A and B are shown apart, each in its own frame.
Chain A
Amino acid sequence: MAIDFSKHTRRGALAVMGVAAAALLTGHAAQAKVEGDTIILGSAISLTGKYSTNGIHAQNGYELAVKRINEMGGVKVDGKSYKLKVVYYDDESTPARGAQLAERLIKQDGVQYMLGPYSSGLTKAIAPISEKYKIPMVEAEGASRSLFTQGYKYLFAVLSTSEQYLASAITLAAEIAEKNGKKPSDVRIAMAFENDPFSQDVRAGVMDDAKKYNMQIVIDDKLPRDLSDMSTTLTKVRAVKPDVLVVSGHSKGAATAARQLAEMKIDTPIVAITHCEAAKIISKFGATTNDILCPTQWAETLSYSGKYFGSAADYDKLFKATYEGYKNVPYQAAQASAAVLVWKDAFERANSLDKDKVRDAIAATDMMTFYGGIKFAPEGNNIAKPMVLRQIQNETLNVVAPSKYASHPVNWPRQVPGS
Chain B
Amino acid sequence: MLFNLQILIDAPIFNVQLLLNGVTVGAIFALAAYGLALVWGVMNVKNLCQGEFVIMGGYIAYYMYTKGIHPMFALPVAIVLMFMFGWFVYRLVISKVIDRDLFTSLLATFGLAIVLQQALNLIFGPEVVTAESGMANRIILGDVAVQDIRVLSLVVACLLAVAVVVFMKNSRMGQAIRATAQDARAAKVMGIDTDQVYAFTYSLNAAICGAAGVLISMIWVIQPFYGITHSIRAFVIVVAAGLGNLPGVIVAGLGLGVAEQYGGFVLGTDFQQVTVTGLLVVVLVILQILMARHRQVVE
A residues in contact (CB < 8 Å) with B = 48-53, 192, 195, 221-224, 226-233, 235-236, 238-240, 251-252, 255-256, 259, 262-265, 279, 284-285, 418
Contacts and interface: CB of A to CB of B under 8 A. Distances in A.
Given A48-B121, A235-B18, A256-B221, A229 B7 contact: no
Interface string B95-123: 00000000000000000000000000100
Contacts of B221: 227-229, 252, 255-256, 259
Contacts of B14: 235, 238-239
B248 interface: no
Contact of A256 (B121, B128, B139, B264): B128
A164 B203 CA distance: 52
Interface residues of B, number: 37
Nearest to A418: B137
A279 B127 contact: yes
B128 A265 contact: no
Given A50-B126, A231-B21, A251-B128, A263 B268 contact: no
A174 B272 CA distance: 33
Contacts of A50: 126, 225
Nearest to A48: B121
A228 B220 contact: yes
Given A53-B125, A231-B21, A251-B127, A222 B222 contact: no
A224 B264 CA distance: 10
Given A49-B126, A265-B139, A235 B272 contact: no
Given A226-B226, A255-B127, A265-B139, A195 B265 contact: no
Nearest to A266: B145
B130 interface: yes
A53 B272 CA distance: 26
A195 B273 CA distance: 13
29 contacts: A48-B121, A50-B126, A51-B126, A52-B125, A53-B126, A53-B127, A221-B268, A222-B268, A222-B269, A224-B273, A227-B128, A229-B25, A229-B264, A229-B269, A230-B269, A231-B21, A231-B261, A231-B264, A232-B261, A232-B269, A232-B272, A233-B268, A251-B127, A255-B127, A255-B128, A256-B128, A259-B130, A284-B132, A285-B132
A50 B120 CA distance: 12
A372 B18 CA distance: 47
B7 A236 contact: yes
B147 interface: yes
A195 B145 contact: no
B145 A265 contact: yes
Contacts of A232: 18, 21, 261, 264-265, 269, 272
Contacts of A51: 126
B11 interface: yes
Given A50-B225, A252-B221, A192 B269 contact: yes
B270 interface: yes
B44 interface: no
Given A222-B270, A259-B221, A265-B145, A240 B130 contact: no
A262 B147 CA distance: 10
A222 B274 CA distance: 13
A196 to B, nearest CB: 11
A222 B270 CA distance: 5
Given A224-B269, A239-B14, A229 B220 contact: yes
B8 to A, nearest CB: 9
Contact of A252 (B132, B223, B273): B223
A192 B272 CA distance: 14
B143 interface: yes
Contacts of B223: 226, 228, 252
A51 B121 CA distance: 11
B181 to A, nearest CB: 29
A297 B220 CA distance: 29
B105 to A, nearest CB: 17
Interface string B187-230: 00000000000000000000000000000000011110110010
Most chain A CB neighbours (cut-off 10 Å) among B130, B147, B222, B270? B270
B4 interface: yes
Interface in B1-56: 4, 7, 11, 14, 17-18, 21, 25
Contacts of A263: 137, 145, 147
B17 A265 contact: no
Contacts of A285: 132
B207 to A, nearest CB: 22
A241 to B, nearest CB: 10
